[in-house]
Structure 1
Amino acid sequence: METDSLPTSRPINVESTNPADIFLMFDAITYHKDAVLIRMINMFLGDQIFQQGIRSYLKKFSYNSATQHDLWQYLTQATNNTIDVEHIMTGWTDQAAYPVVDVKRTYTKTDQQQLYDWILPNPNYFGIYRTKYSSGNFHLIITQLQTNHTHIPTISRSAVIDDTFALSHILLVNATEAYRLIGYLKNERDLVLWITALSSMNRQEYLLGDNEIFSEVQQYFLELILPLYNSIGWTSINQSIDWRQALLQPKVLSAVFSYGYPECIDTARSFFRQRYLNPVQNLIPNSLRRVIYCIVVREGSEEEFQFLWNRSKNELVPSEMVNLLDGLACTKDRSRIV
C-alpha cells in the first residue's frame, strides 16, 4: 500500500482515450492493487462462488474486451444476486488510496483485560485498509507479542507493524508506540515478518534524516536485529535446504552494516581480503557478494574501489556484474561514479 499512499496515486478505474495515458496505467496500482483487491473479493465471496463467477466471466468474454462492470455482474450472479459486488467494489476501484479503520474498544470496570482479549479486525491482511487501534487493545497486542508472538499469525503480525508505522508517518499514531510494538523482534525469526519490519525501519530512518534522535533510533534497531544476526551468521545458506533463511541472510547483514556494527564490517573485510589475495578464484559466496562489496567500498579506500572497478571491466557473468555495480554504487565519494 506504500504506492497507494502517495499524492501521485490514482484510482484503478480511469477513463482514457489517449494512448499515452493508457501506457502510464501499466504500473503498481494496476498490477499490485488489483491483485490484492481480487484476493479481498475471494475472501468475502468464498472460494467456490468466486471461482464460479470468474469461470463464467472468462468464458463469456474470452477473446473479447470487458469492463469492470462486466466482472461485477458475473460475480454477483454467482451469488444468486444475494451480494451486490458492484456496490461493494466501486468505492475501491473509483477512488485513489485506501481507508483507515479506527478500532475503538470500550472496557468497563468489571472487564478483566486478559492476555488474549486483543482484537485484530483485518485477519491475514485480506482487507485493503490500515487499522488504527485504541490504546487498550494496542497494549494487549504488544503484551501478546512479548509473551508469545507466534500466537498471532505471521501475516497479522506483519500487518500490525506495517499499519502502525505507516500511520505514525501521517501522525495518526505516536512513533514511540511503533517503537514499542517492535520491541519483541529480538525473538522473531520469520522471513515475511522481517521483510516488513526492515522496510518500516528503513523508512523511519529516511524520515528522521538529521534528527537528533537518529543515532538513538539506529542503536535501538541494532539491538532488535542483533539476535537474528548472531543466529543467521555469515555462513552461506543452501537455498534448497532453507530458502527462507537464504533470502533473509543478506537483508539482515545489510541492515546490521547500515547500523554501523563494527563486527559486521570487520567480517566483510575479512571475506573481501580473500578475494583480493586470490583474484582468479572468487571464494565469497554468491549470495553475499553484493553486501560484502557494498561494505568494503563504503568503509574502504580508493584501493578497494579500483579493485572492484577493474573486475567489472572484464566481468562476463551478468549476475556478478550486477553485484559489482551495486557494490561500487555504495561509495561515499560521488566523484567516482558521476
Structure 2
Amino acid sequence: MENWGLITYREAALFYAPEASSEVDKQRVANIIAHELAHQWFGNLVTMKWWNDLWLNEGFATYVATLGMQELCKKWHAYAEESLENMMVVLNSDAYHTTRAISQSVSRASQFAEQFDPITYRKGAVIIRMMHMFTGDMTFRKGLNCYLKRHAYGNADQNDLWRSLSEAAHKFGSMPRYLDVQRVMDTWTLQAGYPLITVHRDYVRNTMSINQRRFLIDGLGKTMEKDNSISKGCWFVPISFTLARRANFTATEPRVWLQCDSQVNDIPLEARSPLGAEADQWLILNVQLTAPFRVNYDTVNWRLIIKTLHGGDFRRIHTMNRAQLINDALALSWNGHLCYKIALDLLRYIKQEHAYMPWRAALDHLETIYRIIKQTADFTLFQPQNFMNDLLRPIYVYLGGMETQSKGHHVAHKTLINQWACRLALSDCRKRAVQYYHRWFISNDPDLVNPVPQNLRSVVYCAALRQGDEYDWNFLWQRYCNATVASERRLILQALGCTRIVWVIRRYLEIIFNENSSIRKQDISLAFGAITRSHIGFPLAKNYFMNNFTLLTKSLESNFRELAALLLQITQHISSPHDYRELKMFIDCHRKLEKLATRSVRHAVEHAQVNLHWRQKQQSEFTRWLKARY
C-alpha cells in the first residue's frame, strides 16, 4: 500500500529469497515495488478528485513501473513484455458486454471496490502508453511535469491531465492543431470497449480503406443511442502502419487519425490513405501495439503476412507485432470475423519462433480453447501426437526441455512451454519432473534442502502431483505448512490443486475454506483457481461452491466481491448447456450475491455464455481444420 512515507507490502510482494524464489518471483517483486514507488507522484503528490478517476493513480503507477524496471534491468525486457501483457489482458477483458468505461460515475460505497480491476490498472496503463506514443517522449514528459507541478499537493481529474498534455503537444507540434488530447482521449475513457479496425486494400490504386466498429468477444453488437457517438462505439484512433518493402517498426507515431467527430453521425467513419505499396507486399497496422484495437485485413493481405511468417525472414516483422497478429487472428476467428483456416495457417509458423511474446499470445488463446475442448470428444486432437505436439516440440527442445539451464534470457518462456509440455505428456517432461520431485521426497531434511531448481519448481510440483498418489500430495502439503518463504507457499498452494485423486481434491477444498486452516483468506482464490483448471477438479470445485455457498459466505466474511471472483473462476470453464443451466439456477437462488456484486456476477455469467456460444458456433470449424491436418 502506497502510504506516503510508509509503503507497506505483503511478504510475497517484497521478500525475495535467492535460495527459494525464482527469477519470475524476482521480477514480480521488482514490479510491485516500482508500482508503489510510482504512487509517490501519481496518487500521493497528485490525487484524483473522486473515485471515477482512480485510473489516474493506478494506471500511471502500472505504466511508470514498467519504465522503471526497464531502466533497472534491461535483460528482463520489462517494458515490451509488460506492455504486451497489459494489452492482452485489456483486449480480452474489455471485449465483453459487461465491461465498463475507465472513468464512470461512482456514487455508492459498494462501487469503490469494483474500481480496483483490470480496467483501472491495465487499460489505464495501455491508454497512457498510447498517449506516450502519439505525443512523443519529450511532449509526454513535459506535459506530465506540468500536470504534476500544477496540481502538486492537491487533487486533479482527467480533464486536468488532458489540458497539460494538450498544451505541450501543441507547443512542440506533436499533435495536429485541429485535435486536442481531451477530444481524443475522452473517447477512450468515457466509453467501454475498444474498436475493431477493418482494412480493405485496393491493390490496383494502392490505397486502403479503414473503418471501425466496437469489437465484442461474441461477435454480436448492440445498437446504442443514435445521438451519442461515444455510446455507439466510436474512437479517435491513431493509426500507424508499415509496409513490407520498407518495413519500419520503430516509427510508432500516427500516420493517419481515424476520426470520431460529434458532427458526423454516420458511424463507422471511413478514412482513405495512399500507400504506395505493391500488390505483393503486406501491410501491418498498429506498429508495436501503440493503441488498444484489433485489426482485420482482407484475405489477400492476411495471406501475404502468412507467407512472410512461414518464410525465413519472419523476424522482419517486429516481435510485438508477431504477437499481435497471432492474438488478433485467433480472437477474430473465435467470434466469427475471420475463418479458422487463415488463423491456424498463420499460427503454424510458430514452430520456427523462439521469442517469448508470440508464444505468450498464442498459448494465452489456446488455453481458452483447451478449457472448453477438454470436456469434449475433440480433446484427442490436443494430445501429444497431434496439434499441440507439432507446435510445442521444436521450442521445447530449443529451450532445453527440463534441463536446469535455458537458452536466452527468459525464464518465464521456459516455464510457460514446460507447463504445457508436462500437461500434455510431451517428450520426457513428466518423467523428468517426477525424477526431480522424488529426489526431494527422499531427502533427509526436505524443508532445508530442496534439489528442485527454483525456476522449474512450478512445473515440477504440478506435474509430479498430477502423476502422483496421496503420499506425494501429503508431502507437498507438509512442505507448505513448514515453508517460511511466501513465494514458495504460493507456488505450493497452486500445485496442490493439480492432483487427479478425487477424494484428495475434496479434502483440499475443505481445507481451503476451513476457518482454522493455515491458508490465509487472501490466498483462497489462488488455491481454488488451481483446482478449477483441472478437468477432474473443475466439476468438484463447481459443486462444492454451489452446494456450500452459505458456508463460503461465512468463511469469507460476506465479502461478495471475493465470492464473485471465485464464481468467475468457475464460469471460465463452463461451456455445456447443462452446466450453464445449473449456473443460472444458482444465481436465481442467491440474489444477494448479484445485488452486492452486480457487474462482477454478470461478467462471470457472460464468460459462460461466450464459451457456450463458441462451442455451438465455432468449435466445428476449429476441429475440422485440425482433423484435416492431424
The Cα shift of 1:126 comes to 0.4
Paired position in structure 1 for 2:186: 90
Instruction: Name the CA shift for 1:230/1:133 in 2 (closer, same or farther; >3 Å).
Output: same
| Counterpart code for 1:106 | D
CA distance in 2, matches of 1:15, 1:319: 37
Please state how far the C-alpha of 1:112 moved relative to its aligned partner: 6.4
The within-5 A match list for 1:1-338 is 1=90, 2-78=92-168, 79-80=170-171, 82=177, 83-108=179-204, 113-114=279-280, 117-147=281-311, 148-218=313-383, 219-232=386-399, 233-237=401-405, 242-244=408-410, 246-261=411-426, 263-280=428-445, 281-332=449-500, 333=502, 334-338=505-509
- Residue type matched to 1:235 in 2? E
Per-residue deviation, 1:20: 2.9
Gaps of 5+ in 1: none
For residues 149 and 278 of structure 2, the distance between their equivalents in structure 1, rounded to whole angstroms, comes to: 55
Aligned to 2:50: none
Instruction: Compute the TM-score of the two structures, normalised by the length of structure 1.
Output: 0.91
Aligned-partner SS, 1:173: coil
**Which amino acid is 2:422 matched to?**
F
Change (3 A) 1:113 1:260: farther
Aligned residue type for 1:118: W
Higher share in helix? 1
Structure 1 residues 51-90: Cα deviation after superposition (integer angstroms, max 9, x where no partner)? 2222212211111111212222222222148232211111
The answer to which of 121-130 and 198-207 deviates more is 198-207
8 Å contact kept, 1:13–1:94: yes
Contact kept? 1:201, 1:221, Cα under 8 Å: no
Q: Which residue of 1 aligns with 2:550?
A: none
Q: Percent identity of the aligned residues?
A: 30
Deviation at 1:209, TM superposition (A): 4.2
Partner SS, residue 171 of structure 1? coil
Give the aligned residue type for 1:94: L
How much has 1:279 moved relative to structure 2? 4.2
> Structure 1 residues 133-142 or 172-181, which shifts more?
172-181
Task: Write the distance in 1 (CA, Å) between the matches of 2:138 and 2:488.
Answer: 46
Contact 1:11 1:93 in 2 (8 A): yes
Residues 103-130 of structure 1: CA distance to partner in whole angstroms, max 9, x if unpaired? 112334999643xx11111110001101
3-state secondary structure, aligned to 1:329: helix
1:45, distance to aligned residue in structure 2 (A): 1.7
Shift of 1:26: 2.0
Per residue, is there more strand in 1 or in 2? Answer: 2
Change in Cα spacing, 1:152 to 1:268, as seen in structure 2 (3 Å) is same
What SS class does the counterpart of residue 120 from structure 1 fall into? strand
Q: Deviations over 1:171-203 (max 9, x none)?
A: 212233222111111111112222222212212
Displacement of 1:254:
0.5
- Of the structure 1 ranges 257-266 and 141-150, higher mean CA displacement relative to structure 2 is found in 257-266
Opposite residue 186 of structure 2, the aligned amino acid is T
> Helix, strand or coil for the counterpart of 2:310?
helix
The answer as to whether partners of 2:306 and 2:346 remain within 8 angstroms in 1 is: yes
Q: Which amino acid aligns with 1:317?
A: V
Quote the offset at 1:255 in angstroms: 0.8
What is the alpha-carbon distance in structure 2 between the residues aligned to residue 73 and residue 318 of structure 1?
44
Distance in 1 between residues matched to 2:109 and 2:459, nearest whole Å: 42
Q: Report the AA paired with residue 121 of structure 1.
A: L
The answer for unaligned runs of 5 or more in structure 2 is 1-89, 207-276, 510-630
Quick one: higher RCO (CA 8 Å, sep 6+), 1 or 2? 2
Indicate conservation of the 8 Å contact 2:402/2:429, yes or no.
Answer: no
CA contact (8 A) 2:476 2:496 kept: yes
CA distance in 1, matches of 2:310, 2:436: 36
Asked if 1 retains the 8 angstrom alpha-carbon contact of 2:204 and 2:279, the reply is no
Alpha-carbon RMSD across the aligned residues, in angstroms, is 2.2
Q: How far apart are 1:323 and its partner, in Å? A: 2.8
Instruction: Give the match's secondary structure for 2:197.
Output: strand
Higher deviation after alignment, 45-54 or 127-136: 45-54
Contact 2:166 2:180 (C-alpha < 8 Å) held by counterparts: yes
Alpha-carbon offset, residue 136 of structure 1:
0.5
Q: Which amino acid aligns with 1:216?
A: L
How far 1:315 sits from its partner (Å)?
A: 2.7
Query: Displacement of 1:142 after TM fit?
Result: 0.8
Which has the higher mean CA deviation after the structures are superposed, 139-148 or 195-204?
195-204
CA deviation profile, 1:197-255 (whole Å, cap 9, x unmatched):
221221221243434433224531221111111122222238xx9531x2211211101
Distance in 2 separating the partners of 1:279 and 1:92: 59
Aligned length: 333
The 2-side partners of 1:208 and 1:3 are apart by 21
**How many Å apart are 1:288 and its aligned residue?**
1.0
- Is the contact made by 2:421 and 2:427 (CA closer than 8 Å) also made in structure 1? no
